Amino acid sequence: MTRLADSIAQTAAILEGADLASDLAVRELLDLTTRRRSLDLSDLSPDEQSALIAGRSQELQPSPKAMAERIVEAGKAGRPFIAKFGIDPTGHEVHLGHAVPMLILSRFQRMGHLVVFIVGDVTAKIGDPSGRSDERPALTDEDIARNLATYRDQVRPFFDFDRAQFRHNGDWLRDFKLPRLVEITARIPVSMPLQREDFRKRLEAGHGLSLAELLYSVVMALDSVEIHCDVEIGGIDQFLNMQMCRKVMEVCGQRAELVVATALIEGTDGAGTKMSKSRGNYVPLTAPAGEIYGKIMSVPDRLAEPYFRALSEWSDRDLAIVNARLAGGSLRPVDLKKILAGEVTAALHGVDAAMRAREEFEARFSRRSFEGAGDLPVIDDLGQSVIEAVKSLGFAKSNSEARRVAGQNGIRLVIESAGEQDQVVLTAEEALEPFRTVIEGKLGGRTGSIFLKVGRKLASVRSR
């Protein structure tokens, strides 16, 4: 039995028989699954390695069989099998969306392969155009330096940099000669980048598209050429960029890399869009344990399984067991989501911190009483609308975002008296009315402590 199979057997025993609402069982489970994140996978055969990678990939090109064969060939040649991941420092924070391909990359490292983590300090000056409806604002050298200053520390939970390479592509791109770039681009048809739907839409809409953006994927491909990459890992939004990497490697006389593209995870707001800094629906890797736990608890229940698949080392067997328990009624969705929140928190801060975050969350948000929750923000201006209050509290970035949350039944008034609670959902129209009007209309003459609940965020309403 491989080390991974043994670990899965241990977690299966807990998932099948334990009370997954109990702290003791969750602690035991997190201890096992967190250790699995650093588990030595070198005893897996090439076919087993390829199957493990394919199981969490949306696309694996050209095929899992080709990956297994290439791993075997590298071993016979006595050279490392090289796995690459690149990220541009266009912002100062790395978030959980970036962590999805990084988790796959960490598996390659634990299989015994060479991981090369590339920070694009030169490609950041162009900015990845994938999925953009307009040009990115230009970054200065100072902007880029400031953004990448902490990148290595932020991704450290996923890698052992004593056995991996952390490189800046400026180390080779700044010395790249124009004649060589002309030679390469002369063999790449312009139709190749223009097949991208995002580029076509921008041109059809009359928006700008710079020549630098057309060249972005070519410049990115030079990273793969530099390190003689065997496999590149990235989100599915990078798939066409990675196709260009394969083409450029062939133009340069190298064997085309394999491509592993992972699914994009939906943002924490549950609005159906990908996790991104621009939308504010992300979880930074540097966030405190309690914040990470709370943000994961705020996602819709339907995202629990895709989050487990993307952000954990849970196996298909693990997920099949909990899905069966959910269907049979022996596991509540909220308890599974608490395990998920603990899983993600433990990956970044350790199991002890995850269990403390669990306790704090239970104390503040899962108990029946809100009256004992300290340090709550207070709403004392009852003349303002609910929407205005939500924005002023920082529970939404704008009035339009607050209205969208209301439209998703995410804004509630809670009245609590003698330990009993009643919650009423506010419609988008009701949320536009003054607090005083809403309280009178929804709560009538009932007395008690009143709270505003927006997702998992809570504020006290001073109604008298």
Fold of 1-38+273-366: Tyrosyl-Transfer RNA Synthetase (1.10.240)
Can you give the pLDDT at residue 133? 45
CATH 3.40.50.620 fits 40-262, yes or no: yes
Closest CA to 343 of 18, 41, 96, 94: 96
Rg of the chain on CA atoms, in Å: 25
The DSSP 8-state label assigned to residue 385 in this structure reads B
Q: At CA 235, angle to CA 240 and CA 337, rounded to 5?
A: 155
Alpha-carbon gap, residue 302 to 307, rounded angstroms: 9
Is the torsion defined by CA of 314, 320, 322, 323 positive or negative? positive
- List the domain boundaries for the chain: 1-38+273-366, 40-262, 378-461
Question: pLDDT digit string (tens) for 223-247?
Answer: 999 999 999 999 998 898 999 999 9
> Count of CB atoms within 10 A of residue 358's CB?
25
> What are the tokens at 304?
């629990």
Question: pLDDT digit string (tens) for 370-406?
Answer: 666 667 888 888 888 989 988 888 888 888 888 888 8
Question: pLDDT digit string (tens) for 304-328?
Answer: 999 999 999 999 999 999 999 999 9
pTM, rounded to two decimals: 0.76
CATH architecture of 378-461: Roll (3.10)
> What are the tokens at 326?
């959910």
User: What amino acid is encoded at 397 in this protein?
Assistant: K
Question: pLDDT digit string (tens) for 107-146?
Answer: 999 999 999 999 888 888 776 666 544 455 667 778 777 7
The most confident of 208-222, 283-297, 418-432, by mean pLDDT: 283-297
